[in-house]
Each structure stands twice: as C-alpha cells, then as structure tokens.
Amino acid sequence: MPYRTYFIWSVVLTLVIAGIAPLLPMLVEYALDRFILNSDYDGLTTMTILMVVLLLFQTLVRYYHTLLTNTLGQSVIRDLRIQTFNHITNLRLKYFDRTPIGRLITRTVSDLETIADIFSEGLIQIIGDILQLVVIISVMFYTDWELTLIVLIPMPIMVVSTYFFQEAMKSAFQDVRYWVANLNTFLQEHITGVSIIQYFAREKQEMNKFKDINAEHRNAHIRSNWYFSIFFPVIEIIMAIALGLLVWYGSKSILAARISPGVVVAFIMYINMIFRPIRELVDKFNTLQMGMVGAERIFSVLDTDEQTPNQGTYKPREIKGEIVFENVWFSYDEEKWVLKDVSFKVKPGETLALVGATGAGKSSTINILSRFYEINKGSIKLDGRDIRDYDVHYLRRIIATVLQDVFLFSDSVANNIGLNDPSITREEIMEAAKRVGAHEFIERLPGGYDYQVKERGATLSAGQAQLISFIRALVHNPGILVLDEATSSVDTETELLIQQAIDALMADRTSIVIAHRLSTIQKADKIIVLDHGEIKEVGNHQELLHLNGYYKRLYDLQFHSAGI
C-alpha cells in the first residue's frame, strides 16, 4: 500500500508492453505482402522506420518497467526487514532459547531477498506475460483461426509438463531454503565459537561437519537444476513441433492461395513470442514459488506470538523500590519447576543477596522480575502494584542489570555505555566512569571514550568490559539495581576498585545481588539461600552463620578451598 503509485504505473506499463507485443509481426507481415513482394522500396523504407520507432518505444517502456518493479521490490523488503528486526528484538527470551540465531539471520536477509524477486521478476512480470499470450493468441485467431489451431496442437503437452515441473520445483526450493538456514546457523555458531574449536584442535572435525551440510546444500540446488535440464529441452521440442506444423500447413495454404507468405512469416514470429513468455513464465513461477517459500518463513517469524504481553500502562514519575514476591512458581517448561512457592520482601533501599548452588534459581528470580519470562503462579509486586500493571518498557528502564557475561557492541566506548540514548550526555558518562574508577583506563585507550570496541568487546580484558557494563548501569540512574555475578570476571584488584562505587551506587537504592563470592555480600541487609528453587534460609550474614545450615556449609566450603 505505501508504494501503490509504483505498483499502478508498473501495471500500466505491463499492459502497454502486452498491447504492443504483436505489432512488430503485423508490420513485418504487412511489409512483406505489400512492399517486398511488389518491389516497393519507398514503402519498405517507411515500414522499416516505423519498426525502428516501435523498437525504441518498446525499449523505453521496458526500461521504466524494470526500474519501477525493482524499486517497488527493494522498497517492500526494506520495510519488511525493518518490521522483522523490530519484531525479533521484541520477542521474549524464551523464543531465543529454542531458535538458532543463524536461522533468524537467514529469515531477515536471504529469505527477504527472494520476496523482492516476487515484485521485480515475479508477480507483475507474470501478469504481463499472461496478457501478452492472450493478446498474441487473439491476434493469431483473428488473422487465421485454422493455422492457429494447427500451431496450438502441442499446447496440452506443454500444460501437463509445466504442472509436473512446478510441483517438483516447489519441493526442491523448500529443500534449498532449509539447507541455506542450516548453513547460516552452522557458520554463525562456529565463527562465534572459533576459539573453542582452536583450543581443542577441532578444526578438521568441524570442517567435515561443514562439508556434509554444504554437500546437502549443493545437492538441493542440483535437484532444482536437474528439473530445469529436463523441462527446457521439452519446451524446445514442443516449439519445434509447432514450427514444423506451421511450415507444413502454411506451405499448403500458400500453394492453395488461401493465405499470403506474410502470414506464415508473422506466425513464425508469433510462435517465438508465445514460447518465449511460456519459458519465462516457468522461470518466473519458480521465482514466485521461491519467494512464497521465503514469505512463508518470514511470516512464520512475524506471526510468532512470543512477545511479552504489555497491557500495563502504569508509569510513575519515581519509584520507592519495594519488591514483594508472593507464592511465586516458575518453570521454563511444564515439566520442571525452577522456583517453587517463593515468597520474600525487599524494603526500599535494602540490599538483597541471593546465594545457592548452580541451578538453584537465582538468575531466574531476576529474569522474572524484569518480565523476560512470565511466572506460572503467584504474583510479583513493585511498590504495591503488580509488575504486570507497569508498562514493560518502563519496568525494564528502571531496573539496571549488570550481568556476568558482558555483551559489548561494535561501537565506541561512549555508545556502549549510553546505548545511543540522546538524553545521556558525554559529561554524565565521564562522571559515572569516575565514580566507578574506570575513567583513567578509558582515557588511556586510543581515542578515549571514542575508542571503537570490537565485536563482543574482544579487544578489552574481561575486567575492563565488566567495568564498562557497570558504568552503563550507573549512568542510566536506575531505581532498582541488579548485579548478577557482576564481579566474577573481575580480578581482585579491579574488584576492590569498584567495590566502593558499588556501595555508592547501592546507597538509597533497592539492590538485588547474585554472587558466588560470599565475601561480596556480607554487607547485604538480607540474604536468601536458594536450593532447587526453594528458599531454605533467610537472614543477614551473621544470622545465617549462627544457623549452621546451608549458608554455613557454603561459607566453609568457599573459604576452606581458598586456604583461609
């Protein structure tokens, strides 16, 4: 709809092309019968000029037709690609847990290119070719209906063979798109994890896997080419039969003085003009089929209803930060509960620490707080309101999370901190960096805050990347701070460097801390010990030590292993 003007003009030019298609054979027929056979050179010159003008006009129309249809196709896929990217970035994390990233890249890039071909080489061109066939066959019947029927005798064979070809090609194209997606998924995973491949000297084994996938991709393409290699010779044979019938019956008619030689010559041109669109129609139907296969895959993503429901409209100017979990049950699937009847309360400005073994449910607790996943039973309240009453984007803006696995984009240090938020100034970024104690190390980088971080922060140490993520959280001035193993990738010296900044950031701000290092949470107002999704103990550091239970065992194990 946004490009209906392009579409309307494309259709108009398609009609013009179809309408003028039979004019050239008609001019040839007229020139042959009226001027060549009568040796009229002046008339022949006039007809030649008319033919040249007609050819120039056809060329001009086809130029604008091609330009408009390609512009239409590229504009449509630009909009679709933006829509697809926007949809993907709003999908809940559960969708990405089971969907390979390479598959989504295939959907957003190469599958969309096949849709562009529907407009530039498919739909409108097919309409044009069909109209051209109708016009030419109508002119042929008008010129000589008997000769036309003779020429069209092989046409049923053409229709049947085309039907079988289309069915075979559809299956082949689905295989091609399937293996393209597998190829992209394999490449994305293995290029991202190339360090693991090299650490364990797996280059040869992974290359063999890649060869197998590539071979399947090649075989799928060969199958589609094999169908072409059969079909096009069949078309040529049918065309040869039609020409043979034309020469046989046309010659008899000329000898019987029933038709003129110009009619036979025109019909030879008509046959070429019939079979050329038919050959192109087959090719364009294949383009259309491939585009439809791509469209099905794109719309399967766009129709995925995996977005976090956002019926909430509550956006208070400021929040106090009181968090209440009431009988919360949560599972990633229906078979295994990750959190079981969890209830606790965090007062405004308090610091809550979550401890427990791997898989105890610590990270799940903070994921459901930001509504990355939806709880199965119970309720979570923020300042007395259910978190589902809040606008989900507002909710996530007021909760800043510093993760163990830091992700940095291929961009400047400043943009990785401010995330291209125009409301955050360079001065605020530098002030936050000074509070964290990272200003000096950033200034030492080539270009300082404009230093271009490579993909996933590969050119920075783990500690430096963690510091940048900590500045990112600080500069957004959150109402609630979440630290998920935020110091686990930081060496002792760097941890001491940011500990003071952490304390300053936590002041008068509700904080939830997940840490394996129990030394980092001893100042927490409340510590919850989780085990297999259940709360086992609650209290501060000293209270939990005196209980001589789960926390005491974790504490003793950690400090004994450290030789303390």
Q: Tokens at residue 131, please?
A: 């109209």
Q: In the block, which residue shows the tokens 């797996």? A: 202
Give SS3 for 313.
coil
Q: Which of 368, 457, 355, 366 is nearest to 405 (CA)?
A: 457
For the chain, which domains are there?
4-302 (1.20.1560.10), 323-561 (3.40.50.300)
Weakest-pLDDT range from 20-24, 93-97, 129-133: 93-97
For residues 450-472, give the mean pLDDT. 80
The pTM assigned to this predicted structure is: 0.64
The pLDDT tens digits of the residues spanning 125-152 come to 777 778 888 888 888 888 888 888 888 8
Q: Tokens at residue 82, please?
A: 């933006």
- Asked whether the predicted pLDDT for residue 490 surpasses 70, the reply is no
Distances (CA, A) of 66 to 11, 272, 289, 539: 11, 22, 20, 73
Q: Which of 254, 368, 298 is nearest to 104 (CA)?
A: 298
pLDDT band at residue 325, thresholds of 50, 70 and 90? very high
Note whether 280 and 129 are within 8 A (CB). Answer: yes
**pLDDT confidence of residue 121:** 66
**pLDDT confidence of residue 381:** 92
The pLDDT tens digits of the residues spanning 518-548 come to 766 778 889 999 888 889 989 988 888 888 8
**pLDDT confidence of residue 28:** 85
**pLDDT confidence of residue 515:** 75
Angle at alpha carbon of residue 562, lines to 543 and 555, rounded to 5°: 15
Please indicate whether residue 34 or residue 60 has the higher confidence score (pLDDT). 60
Question: 117-136 as b/e, with b when 16 or more CB fall inside 10 Å?
Answer: bbbbbbbbbbbbbebbbebb
What phi, psi does 510 have (nearest 5°)?
A: -65, 130
- Asked whether the predicted pLDDT for residue 192 surpasses 90, the reply is no
Q: Tokens at residue 463, please?
A: 């500690």
**pLDDT confidence of residue 176:** 81
What phi, psi does 433 have (nearest 5°)?
A: -65, -40
**pLDDT confidence of residue 560:** 62
**pLDDT confidence of residue 49:** 92
For residues 224-230, give the mean pLDDT. 81
Note whether 435 and 494 are within 8 A (CB). Answer: no
What phi, psi does 6 have (nearest 5°)?
A: -60, -45
Sign of CA dihedral 103, 105, 106, 107: positive
Burial (Cβ within 10 Å: 0-12, 13-18, ≥19) of residue 228? middle
- Asked whether the predicted pLDDT for residue 500 surpasses 70, the reply is no
pLDDT band at residue 498, thresholds of 50, 70 and 90? low
CA distance 355 to 560: 18
Note whether 120 and 68 are within 8 A (CB). Answer: no
Q: Tokens at residue 493, please?
A: 């010296």
CA distance 107 to 398: 33
The pLDDT tens digits of the residues spanning 164-179 come to 777 777 778 778 878 8
For the chain, percent of residues with pLDDT exceeding 70: 92
**pLDDT confidence of residue 63:** 92
pLDDT band at residue 324, thresholds of 50, 70 and 90? very high
**pLDDT confidence of residue 109:** 75
Q: What is the mean pLDDT of the chain?
A: 83
Strands 510-514 and 351-355: parallel
Q: Which amino acid is at 68?
A: L
Give SS3 for 418.
helix
CA distance 535 to 75: 55
pLDDT band at residue 60, thresholds of 50, 70 and 90? very high
Sign of CA dihedral 420, 424, 429, 435: negative
- Asked whether the predicted pLDDT for residue 380 surpasses 90, the reply is yes
